[in-house]
Structure 1
């Protein structure tokens, strides 16, 4: 039985919740390093705090993927996990910027790290079923459209989330500087708002999306219902389930293995950007010395000078603008991504996108300091060093790469997966996202300290080199012969 095409707005509703998830994720990406630094983390240990993010993905996504594959109830197949994850993420967002309240029983920095882990676990509980939901509900010929819409909504949410602290400071008038051991009020309120948006958009998707009943789903996906029932009825021990995951890893489709190489280089680079953009531009553009990111130095001086605190606050806000910019460019590119991929092929589109992202990272080093320049951001005007304004140019390439990373691997991969195991394979594919981030977390801080003497701009250049390697590795990916280009036509490998 042929799976019916969905109306455009139903495809839109399927992914609307991802707007809220990415709203929260963008707030975390742009502000977690700032929060942890304010709470006392030193520069080279930031990546170790961030390691909880990929670890949560590595643990949570395959488990949730497997569980959602086996779930059929009146609330749906994927929807229960999406909603539960959103609630837990909103709780973490409420508590993380308020880590200073935990000082009576736990160091604020540790409490902040725990809340970061909670948020990431919850984001992963929510995101994996969202990926599988598109594969479940959208037929093959609409698959590229489905993931492109998802990429568009992700980036709209990221623009909103990234800019929010800046808007709260420069439009609403909240304070953006933090006392020692505390978090700026603008960041605290941004996290409150982000949690609310996350819950609201996820509820929209859950309420507006009626998942297929098992009988319909099996018919559309050509699944033998009796065989599937026998397989799912088997009672397996934890060890047997782990062995099953191991077998799936060994027998994963060739396309997935080849995409894993691309994913390694691209996500290694992205992790560096999220962790170290704030210190990189604070040092390189605002001229704040690396010693002002060292808690021992901060303790020795007693109180952070007003001009240093102001520079760090301004740089932190501008990182939100830069992250919003790359998300905006990604959203715009997502609109054209389906047509470009259909015209030129998925692989060339993917490779060129990553190359532009790598060049964007490498060009960070060209923008340093400069004369104070007034910038009109429509909602307000702000004065920043000329180098800060120039950094909007590299964000074009970074945004194009980000749009492709969010859509193209899944579009390339999805048709090569067995329908009865889409969720668990999507969860396993998250290994290719989590593993490079874990490696980056373990190595980046050490490289920054021992090789680059805590000059964070050079670790961003390293990210650029990795992204270029990712672009080259796309050329070695072989697509399945039966895989379409989004409108049913085969793509040459």
Structure 2
């Protein structure tokens, strides 16, 4: 059995450079979508749907793209056709989005943009695992994380830079020029970065992958399909009942209307699993639905344990993204009125803080994570970084000078770097190589579900118990990040392969 060749820094750079452009587009979307919708007449009550739209799109698309990318072999390769097609569509959406003049058109374009970014993003995770030896997985995902951080910084600050260069930031009948030019720049950067990776990296052929000891994904279909056919319908019905209970609880408990979406997703998964089981029992195993549900039900143990870690850590991150602005504005700038100058000054400072943690993440991924993982292992490295994040969130309770929050964001950046690198390095070294695409896509479920929970439930909790004290959201973030570190204790170090 042959070994994959060792990649130098140039090879690692080429493999992940496309992610730099993708993250620029993603950061532009996250930083400006609320502004665009409000400019076109969207109300504040409508903005929560936008926070839900992005993770929901990833939840639906990434497992599908992962499944099919495992089975694709053509002139472009295995993963490259998907992130190239997604990049072209995302670039077009970025060029069209700022030209929207009516709300519904902007909403449709946003969904196209987010779907396209997810089509590009998902195969890149598996691509690193495909191209690198196991002993280079940490370095590969760390460099990818550095590109994510750098792209986020560039995409986040570009409108700010244009405004300081004299470009108009006033909305006169449409999107401001600062946003329009930033989106055009982002579309070009995204496409060119992905084209760089496509043009400079040649994927291994099926014959080469077989020589590396990696079997065709189709060969492994039988076992999960037999397990799926043997499953009862009890769990599927439980998902449906749980969804119905949640939907019924919304009016009874006066929960926010977004909670309906969470219930609908549980019902949809229960129905989909029933259909998949019945297809498998009927011998109809050659369909994407049964294969995806079968792979989800048959996840390896290491992935199940990492899923719990992801659930906690991404819950903390989403709390931070939603609630940092009101916390900083109220407790550091003394303002709770979103229309006040002090509140907006707090919001501007949060933009700086977010740029800091992304910049720290890029540096930590390049300079700290690979060396630390080589010394103490991936699992201990991730635990230490998650605890840095928990301490950073807890520090919001004692810091009142906004300048000192930069220290907090250093801790957040260290945790963010590890969250984007270590779980994927552990997975890529522990999972069957032939199914990296589908498993990476399914792993995204445990990023999306906590985001949906936070977006749909946290607002109701805050309104019921702490209506005027958003600082308590940071307590939740600190606790769940610490729980993520605790859950990591059950994850085996790479090389100790766990079985399901």
Q: TM-score, normalised by structure 2?
A: 0.80
SS of structure 2 residue aligned to 1:203:
helix
> Which structure would you say has the larger RCO, counting Cα contacts within 8 Å and 6 or more residues apart?
1
Q: Does structure 2 conserve the Cα–Cα contact (< 8 Å) formed by 1:44 and 1:454?
A: no
Q: Does structure 2 conserve the Cα–Cα contact (< 8 Å) formed by 1:330 and 1:399?
A: yes
| Deviation, structure 1 residue 316 | 4.2
* Structure 1 position 331 matched with structure 2 position 362: yes
Q: Does structure 1 conserve the Cα–Cα contact (< 8 Å) formed by 2:357 and 2:410?
A: yes
| Deviation, structure 1 residue 211 | 0.8
SS of structure 1 residue aligned to 2:77:
coil
* Structure 1 position 435 matched with structure 2 position 466: no
* Structure 1 position 257 matched with structure 2 position 304: yes
Instruction: Trace 1:278-293 onto structure 2 (pairs within 5 A).
Output: 278-290=325-337, 292=338
Residue 131 of structure 1, aligned match among 102, 116, 125: 125
Q: 2:69 matched to which residue of 1?
A: 68
SS of structure 1 residue aligned to 2:430:
coil
Q: Taking structure 1 as reference, are residues 47 and 466 closer, same or farther at Cα in structure 2, changes over 3 Å only?
A: farther
Q: 1:319 matched to which residue of 2?
A: 350
Q: 1:450 matched to which residue of 2?
A: 464
Deviations 1:117-166 (A, max 9, x none): 22221121111110111111111111111111111111111121222222
| Deviation, structure 1 residue 354 | 1.0
Deviations 1:25-83 (A, max 9, x none): 22233333444455555667644321111111111111111111111111111111111
Deviations 1:277-313 (A, max 9, x none): 33443444444434x4xxxxxxxxxxx6xxx3x5565
* Structure 1 position 351 matched with structure 2 position 383: yes
Q: Does structure 2 conserve the Cα–Cα contact (< 8 Å) formed by 1:278 and 1:319?
A: yes
The answer for unaligned runs of 5 or more in structure 2 is: 224-279
Deviations 1:79-117 (A, max 9, x none): 111111112222333344454x11xxxxx2x54443332
* 37-46 or 115-124, which deviates more: 37-46
| Deviation, structure 1 residue 456 | 4.2
> Separation in 1 of the partners of 2:48 and 2:208?
46
Deviations 1:434-491 (A, max 9, x none): 11111112112323333332654443442232212212211122346446xxxxxxx9
SS of structure 1 residue aligned to 2:490:
coil
SS of structure 2 residue aligned to 1:5:
coil
* Structure 1 position 242 matched with structure 2 position 289: yes
> Separation in 2 of the partners of 1:396 and 1:285?
18
Q: 1:22 matched to which residue of 2?
A: 23
Q: 1:169 matched to which residue of 2?
A: 163
Q: Does structure 2 conserve the Cα–Cα contact (< 8 Å) formed by 1:165 and 1:320?
A: no
Q: TM-score, normalised by structure 1?
A: 0.81
Q: 2:439 matched to which residue of 1?
A: 425
Q: Taking structure 1 as reference, are residues 334 and 225 closer, same or farther at Cα in structure 2, changes over 3 Å only?
A: closer
Q: Taking structure 1 as reference, are residues 205 and 224 closer, same or farther at Cα in structure 2, changes over 3 Å only?
A: closer
Q: Does structure 2 conserve the Cα–Cα contact (< 8 Å) formed by 1:4 and 1:139?
A: yes
* Structure 1 position 270 matched with structure 2 position 317: yes
Query: Alignment RMSD, CA only?
Result: 2.9
The answer for unaligned runs of 5 or more in structure 1 is: 103-107, 293-303, 369-386, 484-490
Q: Taking structure 1 as reference, are residues 353 and 244 closer, same or farther at Cα in structure 2, changes over 3 Å only?
A: same
| Deviation, structure 1 residue 222 | 3.4
Q: 2:82 matched to which residue of 1?
A: 81
> Separation in 1 of the partners of 2:478 and 2:444?
22
- Size of the aligned set, in residue pairs, is 438
> Separation in 2 of the partners of 1:206 and 1:58?
25
Q: 1:474 matched to which residue of 2?
A: 488
Q: Does structure 2 conserve the Cα–Cα contact (< 8 Å) formed by 1:88 and 1:122?
A: yes
Q: 1:205 matched to which residue of 2?
A: 197
* Structure 1 position 117 matched with structure 2 position 164: no
SS of structure 2 residue aligned to 1:289:
coil
Q: Does structure 1 conserve the Cα–Cα contact (< 8 Å) formed by 2:390 and 2:477?
A: yes
